[in-house]
């Protein structure tokens, strides 16, 4: 009944937990397709061992072609009426597919989605879609979901997350859009498939119960730094190919403005390699009040915070006196030089930079710090600067 695609590349450390969580589902009518995308570790062998344990498992071994290529290979082999996906380093709750399948059938919809856990070490944070629980037919999708499906008026707050792995689709409602994604896309792969697919469904059901565990590690947060020319090519490929898709479906709803904001959200942490003229700025983009040579406290060690810290350490554009995060204990275990937030009290620096790209969390943190330290200069990203024509042109998007 349900085909679950698991793209795998060098996941030997996490793969057993992932596959065990799928095999142990309370909903048993599954076809589990493990796609070994040219792994060079023991992932391929682990996949083959699972075939002997569970007759529902199929294994595909292929040359490394990237995540998009692996998902396509899995979908080609899938025979289920419904299609889901789990990444090889993540895991799921035991009743995830029972609940997704029930929601899909009970409400007679084309797709159903759930909340997730963001897992960093032993810390697990619940994350929900930005739309209310319930059923949305096409009329409600057009009126209530599409106008802010990717991002609303503020920068940046999700409405529906782009992940393919927290959703279950009717087969015919996802396959065409997955197969339409360019194999060369290596950033924003899920969004390139999910948002065109959701534009073309007739109905969805949203549940807030968290059923998927999204593993966050240092490597998954900051990825590897590439040559700036390669970085630009892959981002422009993503932007242009998906923009053409949205052009095709603009009669349903025009998502191109939201897509531009999503691209800026992706590119912001990598501004040092994507922003034309970045080296000539006398301020720390996009914190216009932080001048070159400033002594700062960097608050935040998520994806953006890690990239920003590494950039500052490499260039000495600003001197980071302290690097703080509420999740410091888990981050320290990952080898990051992060300190406790209360060390801000004894800091000899009065400029604090909040390295957070999410509107709600950065605003809440700003208000919290201003209340506790009213005399400190605290900076959040300059939203107007990010969304300006100057920045769009510097990133090559206008």
Per-residue pLDDT tens for 62-109? 999 999 999 999 999 999 999 999 999 999 999 999 999 999 999 999
Please give the backbone phi and psi of residue 159, each rounded to the nearest 5 degrees, phi first.
-110, -65
Written as six digits, the tokens of 3 are 């085909």
Residue pair 289/282 in contact by the 8 Å Cβ criterion: no
Please give the backbone phi and psi of residue 58, each rounded to the nearest 5 degrees, phi first.
-115, 145
Q: Which CA distances in Å does 322 have to 63, 341, 352, 382?
A: 44, 9, 9, 22
Q: What is the CATH number of domain 287-381?
A: 3.40.50.720
Distance in angstroms (rounded) separating the CA atoms of residues 350 and 325: 17
Residue 213 host element (H or E): strand 203-215
Residue 333 host element (H or E): helix 328-333
Domain ranges of the chain: 2-223, 287-381
Q: What mean pLDDT comes out for the span 169-195?
A: 96
Q: Which CATH superfamily is domain 2-223 in?
A: Spore Coat Polysaccharide Biosynthesis Protein SpsA; Chain A (3.90.550.10)
What is the torsional sign of CA 348, 349, 350, 356?
negative
Answer whether residue 221 shows pLDDT above 70. no
The β-bridge relationship of strands 295-299 and 319-324 is parallel
Report the predicted TM-score, pTM, of the whole model to 2 decimal places.
Answer: 0.93
pLDDT band at 226 (very low <50, low <70, confident <90, very high): low
Kindly report the average pLDDT of the chain as a whole number.
94
pLDDT of residue 227: 65
* Residue closest to 309 by CA, chosen among 264, 339, 274: 339
Q: What mean pLDDT comes out for the span 344-350?
A: 88
* Residue closest to 38 by CA, chosen among 8, 17, 75: 8
Place of tokens 């006398």: 282
pLDDT of residue 219: 59
């Amino acid at each position: 009944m349900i085909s679950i695609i698991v793209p795998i590349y060098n996941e030997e450390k996490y793969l057993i937990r992932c596959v065990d969580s799928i095999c142990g589902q309370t909903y048993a009518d599954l076809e589990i397709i493990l796609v070994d995308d040219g792994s060079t570790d023991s992932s391929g062998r682990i996949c083959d061992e699972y075939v002997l344990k569970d007759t529902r498992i199929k294994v595909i071994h292929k040359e490394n072609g990237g995540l998009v290529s692996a998902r396509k290979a899995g979908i080609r082999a899938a025979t289920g009426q419904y299609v889901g996906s789990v990444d090889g380093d993540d895991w799921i709750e035991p009743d995830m597919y029972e609940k997704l399948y029930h929601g899909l059938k009970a409400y007679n919809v084309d797709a159903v989605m759930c909340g997730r856990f963001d897992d960093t070490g032993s810390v697990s944070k619940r994350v929900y879609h930005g739309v209310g629980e319930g059923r949305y037919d096409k009329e409600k999708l057009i009126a209530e979901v599409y106008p802010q499906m990717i991002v609303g008026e503020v920068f940046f707050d999700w409405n529906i997350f782009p992940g393919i792995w927290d959703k279950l689709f009717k087969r015919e409602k996802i396959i065409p859009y997955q197969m339409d994604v360019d194999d060369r896309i290596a950033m924003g792969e899920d969004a390139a498939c999910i948002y065109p697919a959701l534009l073309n469904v007739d109905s969805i059901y949203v549940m807030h119960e968290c059923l998927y565990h999204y593993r966050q590690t240092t490597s998954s947060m900051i990825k590897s730094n590439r040559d700036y020319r390669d970085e630009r090519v892959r981002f422009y490929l993503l932007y242009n190919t998906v923009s053409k898709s949205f052009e095709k479906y603009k009669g349903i709803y025009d998502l191109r403005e939201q897509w531009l904001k999503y691209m800026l959200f992706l590119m912001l942490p990598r501004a040092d390699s994507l922003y034309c003229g970045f080296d000539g700025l006398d301020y720390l983009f996009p914190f216009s009040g932080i001048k070159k040579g400033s002594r700062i406290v960097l608050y935040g060690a998520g994806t953006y915070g890690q990239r920003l810290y590494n950039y500052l350490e490499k260039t000495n554009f600003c001197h980071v006196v302290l690097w703080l995060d509420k999740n410091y204990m888990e981050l320290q275990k990952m080898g990051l030089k992060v300190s406790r937030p209360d060390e801000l009290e004894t800091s000899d620096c009065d400029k604090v930079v909040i390295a957070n790209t999410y509107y709600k969390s950065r605003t809440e943190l700003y208000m919290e710090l201003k209340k506790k330290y009213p005399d400190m200069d605290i900076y959040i990203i300059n939203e107007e600067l990010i969304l300006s024509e100057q920045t769009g042109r510097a990133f090559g998007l206008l």
